[in-house]
Amino acid sequence: MSIDRFIIKKLDNCHEQTRINLVKLFQLRIQRAEKAENNNHKTG
């Protein structure tokens, strides 16, 4: 299972603090992916 699907699955049934941390983790992953995508466009 990919980490993204794992995070989404866990968001459905976890405590509030855990949910906040999972959302932060998901946001970081999205930001990293966007940054990598932008870097690829600059060099590609």
Q: Could you tell me which of 29, 10, 30, 34 has the C-alpha nearest to residue 20?
A: 10
Predicted model pTM: 0.73
CA-to-CA distance for 11 and 34, rounded, in angstroms? 22
Domain count, the chain: 1
Residue 30 CA to residue 24 CA, distance in Å, equals 10
pLDDT above 70 coverage of the chain, percent: 95
Instruction: Give the residue numbers spanning the domain of 31.
Output: 3-43
pLDDT digits (tens, 9 = 90+) for 21-36: 999 999 999 999 999 9
Q: Report the distance separating Cα 4 and Cα 2, nearest Å.
A: 5
